[in-house]
Amino acid sequence: MALYSKDLGYLKIAGAVPSVKPGDLQGNREAMVKLYDEACKNSAQVVLFPELSLSGYTLADLFMQDQLLSEVLAELQNLLEVTKDQNALLIAGAPLAQRGRLYNCAVVLQKGKILGVVPKSYLPNSREFYEQRWFASGQGISGEISIHGKKVPFGADLIFSDPQDSRFNLALEICEDLWSPLPPSTFLSLGGASLILNPSASNELVGKNDYRKNLISQQSARCLSGYVYCSAGPGESTTDTVYSGRVMSYENGSLISENQPYHRGGHISYSHMDMFFLDHERRNSSSFRQAVDFHQKQIEGIRRIECSFPSEELKELHRWVDPHPFVPSRIEEREQRCREIFAIQSEGLMTRLAHIGCKDSVIGLSGGLDSTLALLVVIEAYRRLELPLSGIHGYTLPGFGTTERTKNNAVKLCEELEIPLETQDIQAVCNKQFQDLGHNGTDHDITYENVQARQRTQFLMNKANQIKGIVIGTGDLSELALGWCTYNGDHMSMYAVNTGVPKTLVRYLVEYVSHSYENSSAAAILMDIVNTPISPELLPPDKEGNIAQKTEDVVGPYELLDYFMYHVIRCGCSPRKAYFLAEKALGDAYKADFILHWLKRFYQRFFSQQFKRSCLPDGPKVGSLALSPRGDWRMPSDASAKAWLKDLEELES
């Protein structure tokens, strides 16, 4: 089934940098047309050219020549002819005269018409810039300009919007506008523009690009918008300045695409902007809504200009799709992320222990990833509180599925870290429970598994009462999303330190801590735990004594499930969009039907298991996604998944 850009919320932007010659209007127009035609063939919906691209930016006093300005109008007419048979918007930079003043403008063309003209508001006039010598500011202008005998909307108050879908809308500001204390894009965003385009002619200086990138990132984040920046490049005069032709696209503060600067010929950089995600972010931001209300007077005069954004079949996506959204790919960033999360976890536990005046904690240790991470967090909290580690009471609770590998890892780790550990075999008490239930103890059903899980929690809770301590929860965020926990079993604790950590990040956190230990034996044990198959160990081992019950065989690969969780819950993606993105990001590792199968199972489990999330114990939020009913996520336990599953069934057909 073909998937189309507008159905999934994507708008394809082409940042086109032509090779210009200041004053060669015909040559510049021909260079722009060549790139525009190429962008249209590649299904671009918007083609953005740099500031004053039609005339050239570095003309200086030649801007005051009547011959130049008449040539600008003539070549604008030629550009209009080119757009008649194309669907994409063309945004060209041109100097335009109006009532004795000259304006630095961005002209928006589509289907043989000029839809609107946006003048530059802030004109740089220091150091190498002298724009006020030639141009007038467009700030406060809201009217019309006459071009080729026709009145065209003119002002910095224009939003170009698709009447068929109000989520597809854009506005413009020009170069220096971004550098001002209060950019025009701030009010344009509050007025509804979710994508800001910036045709620019910013020269290159040492260190300037880092500052410029910070500006774009911060403005797109504050405005909860997309931001595409396209700057002048080859051909501009290098008398005193050099231009690199940079094109950058940001989305809510994050860089989604960036070209290589200093191309000698004209070139195009594409990016797909996720308009649905931006709309989702705004709907979820109370601060953005309040800002709209507070500044009604400033935005009430903003004008909407109708335009159309053609849809394309999405065969490729011009943005990087992170296959592991919770885990940074760069080692340095990943270590920084782990350092921050580990600090948040330990700080949360420290505050809880100090608040209740508790010096004793109880933790069940299976030798698996989650309980190991929880133990490491507890140790860090005790060290920072300067509490004796003897207050950490570890228990292994072997049942019918416990293997020697996991049990030995738990025992050896506690020995190396000098943590008190006791073993309490639960098999006898579970067998007694089977008798009481009339269960034969040989059917490996849900009762067989959950009797063990609840017995472990019951022992830990009672032990905590006995020593006046608290039970530390070990379950992670991914398990909560799937409901992969026993209700009132491992589902419950007195403080859950892993509740905000997704499974794909748990192993990296354990690995991160292992690198900080001088004790090489402890580090080796931690790495063996990292490499142990994920399992609740509630079913008997295989004949060789190895883990037979592997979680990912039942719920699916956590790599996929965490990907679904991020895009479905954090980003609000539709099922078909979540599928599309997963295939783009992880299609080399998993077949399409495999991805679709586990996405369907994800929705089924997520909807059916809300009742477990509705009564979670306290625990620290560590990232942008959490499932606590007191924090990020509220949902009725009997909500229907029918509409979501229907979307996937249509994909299957």
194, 342: one domain: no
- Gap between the Cα atoms of 233 and 267, Å rounded: 10
450, 495: one domain: yes
Instruction: Name the residue with tokens 């030995």.
Output: 408
What are residue 496's DSSP bridge partners? 473
Q: Is residue 359 part of a domain?
A: yes
Q: Is residue 318 part of a domain?
A: no
For β-strands 495-496 and 470-473, DSSP reports them as: parallel
348, 420: one domain: yes
Q: How far is CA 535 from CA 83, 341, 374, 548, 555, in A?
A: 60, 24, 16, 8, 11
What is the predicted pLDDT for the residue at 248? 97
Would you call 331 helix, strand, or coil by DSSP? helix
450, 585: one domain: yes
Give the pLDDT band (50/70/90) at residue 127.
Answer: confident
248, 392: one domain: no
Q: How far does Cα 459 stand from its chain's mean position? A: 41
What is the predicted pLDDT for the residue at 173? 98
Instruction: Name the residue with tokens 């909407």.
Output: 304
What are the start-end ranges of the H helices in 517-591?
520-530, 551-555, 558-565, 575-586
Q: Is residue 100 part of a domain?
A: yes
One-letter amino acid identity for 555?
Answer: V
596, 497: one domain: yes
What would the pLDDT profile of 194-243 be if each residue is shown by its tens digit?
999 999 999 889 999 999 999 999 999 999 999 999 999 988 988 889 99
What would the pLDDT profile of 479-529 be if each residue is shown by its tens digit?
999 999 999 999 999 999 999 999 999 999 999 999 988 889 999 999 999
The CATH number of residue 88's host domain is 3.60.110.10
The CATH number of residue 436's host domain is 3.40.50.620
* Mean pLDDT of the 459-469 span: 98
Among the listed residues 12, 120, 407, 612, the single catalytic one is 120
Among the listed residues 6, 51, 105, 571, the single catalytic one is 51
422, 525: one domain: yes
What would the pLDDT profile of 308-358 be if each residue is shown by its tens digit?
998 888 888 999 899 999 999 999 999 999 999 999 999 999 999 999 999
347, 302: one domain: no
Q: How far is CA 620 from CA 286, 334, 339, 362, 473, in A?
A: 22, 20, 15, 18, 11
266, 349: one domain: no
* Mean pLDDT of the 81-89 span: 95
Q: Output the six-digit token pair for 379.
A: 């140790």
438, 578: one domain: yes
Is the confidence at residue 653, as pLDDT, over 80?
A: no
The proportion of the chain whose per-residue pLDDT surpasses 90, expressed as a percent, equals 90
50, 173: one domain: yes
Mean pLDDT, the chain, as a whole number?
95
341, 301: one domain: no
Q: Is residue 3 part of a domain?
A: no
Among the listed residues 40, 105, 175, 571, the single catalytic one is 175
What would the pLDDT profile of 160-187 be if each residue is shown by its tens digit?
999 999 899 999 999 999 999 999 999 9
Element (H, E) at 507: helix 503-516
Contact 173, 156 (CB under 8 A): yes
Q: Is residue 314 part of a domain?
A: no
Count of domains in the chain? 2
What is the predicted pLDDT for the residue at 518? 83
- Gap between the Cα atoms of 230 and 263, Å rounded: 13
Q: How far does Cα 559 stand from its chain's mean position? A: 16
Instruction: Name the residue with tokens 């810039």.
Output: 129
The proportion of the chain whose per-residue pLDDT surpasses 70, expressed as a percent, equals 100
Annotated active-site residue 537? The verdict is: no
Annotated active-site residue 175? The verdict is: yes
- Gap between the Cα atoms of 342 and 211, Å rounded: 31
Domain boundary among 271, 306, 341: 306
Q: Is residue 471 part of a domain?
A: yes
Q: Is residue 319 part of a domain?
A: no
Give the pLDDT band (50/70/90) at residue 1.
Answer: low
Annotated active-site residue 41? The verdict is: no
**Domain of 367, in residue numbers:** 331-652
One-letter amino acid identity for 561?
Answer: L
What would the pLDDT profile of 619-644 be if each residue is shown by its tens digit?
999 999 999 999 889 999 999 999 99
- Gap between the Cα atoms of 457 and 340, Å rounded: 29
Q: Is residue 320 part of a domain?
A: no
Give the pLDDT band (50/70/90) at residue 543.
Answer: confident
What is the predicted pLDDT for the residue at 651? 86
Contact 6, 165 (CB under 8 A): yes
Is the confidence at residue 570, as pLDDT, over 80?
A: yes
